[in-house]
Amino acid sequence: MFKPFELECISCGEKYKTGNFYNCIKCGGILNVKYNQSKYKLKNNQLIVDNSIQGLWSYKEYLPINNENNICSLAEGHTPLIKSKISEISGNLFFKDETRNPTGSFKDRPTTVSISKAIENKCKGVVAASSGNAGIATAAYAAVAKLPAIIFVPENLPNEKLLQASIYGAKIIKVRGDYSSSFELAKKVALEYNYANLTSTYYNPYGLEGDKTIAFEMYNQLGHLVPDFIIIPIGAGPLLTGIYKGYLDLKEMNLIEKLPKMIGVQAKGCSPIVKAFKENNKNVEPWNHVNTIASGISDPLKGYDQDGTYTLNIIKGSGGYAISVSDEEIIDSVFSLGNGQGIFVEPTSATVFCGYKQLRKSELIKKDDLTVSIITGIGFKDTKPLYKFIGKIPIVEASLMEFDSLNILENE
């Protein structure tokens, strides 16, 4: 395992030694983990995977930890990549199923890295502002690390997400307002009390390093082919940027030649990045009235709109697109993924299938284009928007006559 070269500000280029840093002290810009490239190691000209380690730390050669004893892991990552079997639309589509992670979402990846780094930096406890899944992951990993955890969440968080974080033993605090208010308070509390801030926006620079392992896994799962397109639901966008960073690393190591086009999907009721993309604005502006069932990406970016601008530039630089989808389409896609693929997703994660259909229709993605949709979170986490769509469930006596009267075998 090697040390990160340093943290580098993406705006002014200022460099910092690794430590409890968040935004650039000089200009407030986003910090990025930069490795000393000459130290990138390969074995037989391939990525080094330590198969004695469960979870994404098998890629430890490429992760920013100095001492292995500081790793806090729940065997996250190494999720399956599954070919689409949905008959409604055929194409060269795969799903990277992140619902299989220990807490049910990809957020376990950024969290395992940022908490391990927090342990290495000897923090007293951890905080996170979260629209749900990052707080849940923080709570679970903090439980294993035996660190106190405080999670700040928006008022309207789905009950299942509150429940799950509580089971892991974190202290949960609702903050009036949308996600941006939680973000603000987490920042203040962490700085005041010397807790590490694991908020999974770009604020904590280590999270992205966990996200990038998705690219490494897909590189091996696709027999070294690079997808033409990768479709991802985006809040502020670190997942998208982290995966892209992984592909940039692979290119830097001369393992691949081309890069994937990145597609960010937002919900119509909260789509600041899509708006800037469509209007060709240089900067992303905060969103005012959040109104969507996609709770995991309801991120209005108030107070850190630079995060959105960073993501916008990554998308554009990759030659990709930012698109938005409606709540009705999202519900439809929850069912498509359920009864077409056997995957139960939370509404936020269904956006990627809506996005695929939209881009196939407009022919920006062709049938043969190798496309991966990242399935970010499991359906049990956010069920309320779905109940009114499942129809009435009949109840009968244990009699064949009553069963027959239901006429559910109408095609026989």
Binding-site ranges for ligand PLP (CB under 6 A): 105, 107, 133-134, 200, 233-239, 296-297, 346, 348-349, 376-377
CB of 134 to Zn ion, least distance (A): 24
Out of Zn ion, ligand PLP, none, what residue 239 binds, judged by CB under 5 to 8 A for its kind, is ligand PLP
Pick between residue 207 and residue 227 the one whose CB is nearest to ligand PLP.
207
> Does residue 163 bind Zn ion (CB under 5 A)?
no
When computed from its CA atoms, the radius of gyration of the chain, rounded to whole angstroms, is 21
- The partner in contact with residue 26, picked from Zn ion, ligand PLP, none with C-beta cut-offs of 5 to 8 angstroms by kind, is Zn ion
Which of these, 346, 336, 343, lies nearest to 385 by C-alpha position? 346
Closest-CA residue to 160 (of 376, 381, 329): 381
CB of 249 to ligand PLP, least distance (A): 18
Q: Is the CB of 76 or the CB of 346 nearer to ligand PLP? A: 346
Nearer to ligand PLP, 134 or 140 (CB): 134
- In angstroms, what is the minimal distance from the CB of 8 to Zn ion? 9
- List Cα–Cα distances, 260 to 139, 173, 202, 210, 370, in angstroms: 33, 39, 21, 19, 10
Question: Any idea what DSSP says for residue 269?
Answer: T
Tell me the DSSP string of 235-260.
Answer: SS-HHHHHHHHHHHHHHHTTS-SS-P
Q: How far is the CB of 211 from ligand PLP (least distance, A)?
A: 7
3-state SS string for 369-397: CCEEEEECEEHHHCCHHHHHHCCCCCCCC
CA-angle at 273, arms to 131 and 240, nearest 5°: 65
> Smallest gap, in angstroms, from Cβ of residue 130 to ligand PLP?
8
CB 405 within 8 A of CB 372: no
Helix (H) or strand (E) holding 126: strand 126-129
Using CB distances below 5 to 8 A depending on partner kind, what does residue 24 bind out of ligand PLP, Zn ion, none?
Zn ion
Element (H, E) at 9: strand 4-9
Site string for Zn ion, 8-47 (x = CB under 5 A): -x-xx-x---------x-xx-x------------------
**Min. distance of Cβ 133 from ligand PLP in angstroms?**
3
Binding footprint of Zn ion on the chain (CB under 5 A) = 9, 11-12, 14, 24, 26-27, 29
